[in-house]
Amino acid sequence: MRTFFFAALVVLAAQVPALSPAVAQVGAPPDPAALERVTKAMWPKRPEGWENRISYDETQAACSRFRNELPQAEFERVRAREAATIRFPADGNVLGDWKAGQKYANDGRGGTFTDRPMTNGANCYACHQMDLAELSYGTLGPPLVGYGKLRNYAPEEARAAYAKIYNSMATMPCSTMPRFGYHGFLTEQQMKDLTAFLFDPASPVNK
C-alpha cells in the first residue's frame, strides 16, 4: 500500500511542473503559500493559554502531506524522532491505579476551545473496545479487550503500552491515535493509571 501510494505521488509530482498554474486541474495539490495564507487566516492568533501548545509540527506536516502513508525513509525518520520524545516515570514504575484509568478512558471532556482548563479525559473508548461491559465504544482503533492478560502481564509489555500512550507514533508513524504524552494532553499519573487499566490483573479489561 505504502509503495503504491509513493509511486502515485511520484507520478503526480512529475506531472505538476507540466501544468501552468499550480492548480490547473482537480486533484492537483494546492500552492503551499496559498494553503499557508488560508490556515493563518483561519486561526490568526493562538488563544490565551494556548501559546505553548503545538499547533503544527514536522511530523504532522509529513503525515498531512503524504496522507499518513509515508515513504520508507520518511517513515524511519519520523519513527526515530517520535521515539526520542518519550519520557518514562523517573522511578521506572509505569503502573498506577486502574480505577482512575478506567475513569479517564471513559471521559471525553477537556481541551477544546469551549472548555475551561480542567483535567483532560483520555477518551480511549472513542476508538477502542476495552472492558467488555462498556458497550459504547468506537472502532477507529483495534479492540484492547484482555490486553494485559494476553501479554502475560509482562513488565516490558506494560512499558511498551505506556510508551504507546505517550507517543503512538514512536511505533506507528502517522497513527490515528493522538500522542497524549508528547502533547502534554495527559499527565504522567494519568498515563500510569491508563497503563494499569490495561495491565492490572484486577482490571475489568482482563476479566
Partner 1 sequence: MRTRRGCVAACAAILLLAAGSAPAQQAVDTEKELEKYRQMMSDPMSNPGFLNVDRGEALWTQKRGARNASLETCDLGMGPGKLEGAFARLPRYFADVDQVMDLEQRLKHCMETIQGLDTADILRRRFGAPGRVSDMEDLVAFIANKSSGMKFEVPLSHPKEREAYAIGEALFYRRSDFMDFSCATCHGEEGKRIRLQPLPQLNKPGRDAQMTMGSWPTYRVSQSQTRTMQHRLWDCYRQMRTPEPVYLSEGITALTLYLVKTAEGGEIQVPSIKR
Residue with cell 507517543: 167
Q: Could you give the string, one character per residue 67-106, with x where binding to ligand HEC holds by CB under 6 A and - elsewhere?
A: --------------------------------------x-
C-alpha cell at 20: 501552468
Q: Which does 172 bind (CB under 5 to 8 A by kind): partner 1, ligand HEC, none?
A: ligand HEC
User: DSSP class of residue 54?
Assistant: -
CA dist 9 to 23, 43, 70, Å? 16, 29, 11
Q: Which residues bind partner 1 (CB under 8 A)?
A: 21-26, 28-31, 34-35, 38-39, 41-44, 46-47, 50, 53-56, 60, 63-64, 67-68, 108, 111-114, 125-127, 135-140, 174, 176, 178-179, 183, 185
172 binds ligand HEC (CB under 6 A): yes
Residue (7 or 155) nearer to ligand HEC, CB: 155
User: How far, in Å, CA of 176 to CA of 116, rounded?
Assistant: 26
Q: How far is CA 94 from CA 28, 91, 111, in A?
A: 46, 9, 24
Please enumerate, as own/partner, the contacts of 63-72 that have beta carbons within 8 Å and a separation of 24 or more.
Answer: 63/173, 63/174, 66/5, 66/9, 66/174, 67/5, 68/174, 68/176, 69/1, 69/2, 69/5, 69/6, 69/174, 70/2, 70/173, 70/174, 71/2, 71/6, 71/9, 72/2, 72/6
Name residue, grid cell 488563544.
47
CA 59 to CA 19: how far, in whole Å?
29
Closer to partner 1 by CB, 95 or 163: give it.
163
Minimum CB separation from partner 1 for residue 105, in Å? 12
Q: Which residue lies nearer to partner 1 by CB, 149 or 183?
A: 183
Q: How far is the CB of 49 from ligand HEC (least distance, A)?
A: 22
**127 counts as binding ligand HEC under rule CB under 6 A:** yes
69, 70, 98, 164: residue in contact with ligand HEC (rule CB under 6 A): 164
Within positions 128 to 157, which residues make up the interface with ligand HEC, using CB under 6 A? 128, 140-142, 144
Residues that bind ligand HEC (CB under 6 A): 105, 122-124, 126-128, 140-142, 144, 161, 164-165, 168, 172, 175-178, 180, 194
